[in-house]
């Protein structure tokens, strides 16, 4: 927005704007003729990204007053027709079509795990907001959604995924001019904070429980559990494991283990896991590169939750309160007990921050007593 006068050449009609006109007229830079100022003051402003220039009046004070009124009208959105509202479904469709391919700040396509998280969260958010347009989503509606999810007993980490997804959708809509009528956007993004995640689990597999799992008849599930126990891979990593990622010669599994599509990590193979994988590869007809796949469709399994819960049920092994992810915690705890090398564990698990790795390790009183015994022995030997 600006207030200015126009200085014009009488010969070649050259003109330019002058916000602070002087008493002496300048010479035309084209023909050298002395220029003159037009009588009126002018104002300029933008409406929907289009520049507009109008006559402000004969006096500068009058032009400033007119520009101030236009500024207030623009802020109150009384100056032009409102932009059409964006339905929730339309915004979600554009979000999936553009953001999934371009990623945040154009960094490239999102990883399959991130896309899966967004899809699950959007399906959960849909009943809360599908009846309104994205422009009319309010701060109070978001708070009610969070309270409703808490009332169902969901963990803070689950609710945080939905909050992050909603914020990401709103940021995307703002970036692509889908929120011109929403005055609640910045309040939602700024004041809706993630919840404190105090849902740390300490369920570790015992030796007897491991023996019962390794002896379970379901060969696919048994090997998936063994891979997680011996390498710390997540369930998705075990399910999507391919034979090209298993290097028997070098003794590594080379796989992307970060949840956001990080760099591939070399995870050393143990002797027990190497023997099991070699036995499976020898008995498997290699019609697909996947280690685990549906025999009828020749496609990889998506999830093993039903089979795992059935195995842990009272009619089978009777393992109480056991999740597949607890096998990853078991591996991390055993690794630190046997080696004490935190940095190596962080790299194997694919964590960026060592604090995340520390959440996976659960040491009991025996571990503390053993560490204190080693401390005492080193003291007696004169090592410190």
Q: What is the DSSP string of 200-244?
A: -------HHHHHHHHT-S-HHHHHHHHHHHHH---HHHHHT-BGG
Is residue 114's pLDDT more than 90? no
pLDDT bin (cut points 50, 70, 90) of residue 17 is: confident
Residues in the chain: 384
pLDDT of residue 12: 84
pLDDT of residue 82: 54
**Strand order, beta sheet including 264-268:** 246-247, 252-256, 264-268
User: Which residues lie below 8 Å from residue 310, measured CB to CB, with a gap of 6+?
Assistant: 316
User: For 38-75, how does the pLDDT look when each residue is reduced to its tens digit (9 = 90+)?
Assistant: 888 899 888 766 788 888 888 889 988 988 888 887 76
Q: How many CA atoms lie within 13 A of 146 on its CB side?
A: 20
Is residue 186's pLDDT more than 80? no
Q: Domain coordinates of the chain in residue numbers?
A: 2-75, 88-191, 207-375
Q: What does the alpha-carbon distance between residue 362 and residue 326 come to, in Å, rounded to a whole number?
A: 11
Which span out of 57-61, 226-230, 370-374, 378-382 was modeled with the highest average pLDDT?
226-230
Q: What does the alpha-carbon distance between residue 330 and residue 206 come to, in Å, rounded to a whole number?
A: 9
- CATH number for 88-191 (one of 1.10.287, 1.10.150, 3.40.50, 1.20.120): it is 1.10.150
Give, for 6, the enclosing helix (H) or strand (E).
strand 2-8
Percent with pLDDT over 90 in the chain = 20
Q: What does the alpha-carbon distance between residue 39 and residue 62 come to, in Å, rounded to a whole number?
A: 13
- Of 351, 321, 320, nearest to 335 by C-alpha is 351
Between CA 337 and CA 342, with CA 340 as vertex, the angle to 5 degrees is 120
Q: Mean per-residue pLDDT for 297-302?
A: 78
- Of 370, 360, 371, 369, nearest to 334 by C-alpha is 360
pLDDT of residue 198: 63
User: For 304-333, how does the pLDDT look when each residue is reduced to its tens digit (9 = 90+)?
Assistant: 889 999 999 988 899 988 999 999 999 999
Is residue 225's pLDDT more than 90? yes
Read off the tokens for 193: 């904070």
Q: What does the alpha-carbon distance between residue 232 and residue 228 come to, in Å, rounded to a whole number?
A: 5
Whether 88-191 shares its CATH topology with 207-375 is answered no
DSSP code, position 247: E
pLDDT of residue 77: 60
pLDDT of residue 229: 93
pLDDT of residue 156: 85
Q: What does the alpha-carbon distance between residue 260 and residue 226 come to, in Å, rounded to a whole number?
A: 24
**Domain 207-375 adopts which CATH fold?**
hpI Integrase; Chain A (1.10.443)
Q: What pTM did the predictor assign?
A: 0.58
């Amino acid at each position: 927005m600006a207030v200015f006068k126009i200085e014009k050449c009488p010969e070649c009609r050259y003109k330019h704007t002058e916000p602070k006109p002087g008493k002496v007229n300048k010479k035309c830079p084209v023909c050298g003729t002395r220029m003159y100022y037009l009588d009126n003051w002018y104002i300029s402003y933008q409406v929907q990204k289009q520049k507009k220039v109008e006559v402000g009046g004969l006096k500068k004070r009058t032009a400033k007053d007119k520009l101030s009124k236009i500024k207030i009208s623009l802020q109150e959105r009384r100056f032009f027709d409102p932009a059409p509202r964006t339905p929730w479904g339309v915004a979600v469709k554009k979000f999936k079509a553009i953001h999934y391919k371009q990623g945040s700040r154009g960094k490239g396509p999102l990883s399959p795990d991130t896309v899966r998280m967004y899809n699950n969260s959007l399906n959960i958010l849909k009943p809360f907001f599908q009846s309104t347009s994205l422009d009319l989503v309010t701060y109070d509606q978001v708070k009610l959604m969070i309270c409703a999810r808490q009332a169902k007993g969901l963990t803070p980490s689950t609710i945080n995924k939905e909050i992050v997804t909603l914020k990401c959708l709103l940021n995307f809509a703002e970036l692509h001019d889908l929120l011109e009528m929403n005055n609640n956007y910045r309040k939602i993004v700024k004041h809706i904070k993630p919840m404190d995640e105090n849902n740390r689990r300490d369920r570790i597999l015992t030796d007897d429980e491991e023996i019962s799992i390794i002896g379970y008849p379901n060969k696919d599930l048994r090997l998936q559990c063994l891979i997680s126990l011996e390498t710390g891979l997540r369930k998705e990593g075990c399910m999507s494991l391919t034979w090209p990622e298993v290097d028997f010669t070098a003794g590594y599994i080379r796989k992307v283990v970060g949840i956001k599509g990080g760099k591939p990590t070399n995870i050393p193979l143990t002797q027990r896991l190497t023997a099991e994988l070699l036995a499976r590869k020898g008995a498997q007809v290699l019609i697909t590169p996947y280690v685990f796949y549906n025999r009828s469709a020749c496609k990889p399994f998506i999830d093993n939750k039903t089979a795992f819960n059935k195995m842990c049920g009272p009619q089978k092994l009777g393992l109480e309160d056991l999740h597949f992810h607890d096998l990853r915690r078991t591996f991390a705890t055993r690794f630190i007990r046997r080696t004490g090398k935190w940095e190596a564990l962080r790299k194997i698990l694919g964590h960026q921050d060592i604090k995340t790795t520390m959440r996976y390790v659960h040491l009991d009183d025996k571990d503390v007593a053993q560490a204190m015994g080693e401390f005492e022995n080193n003291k007696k030997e004169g090592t410190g």
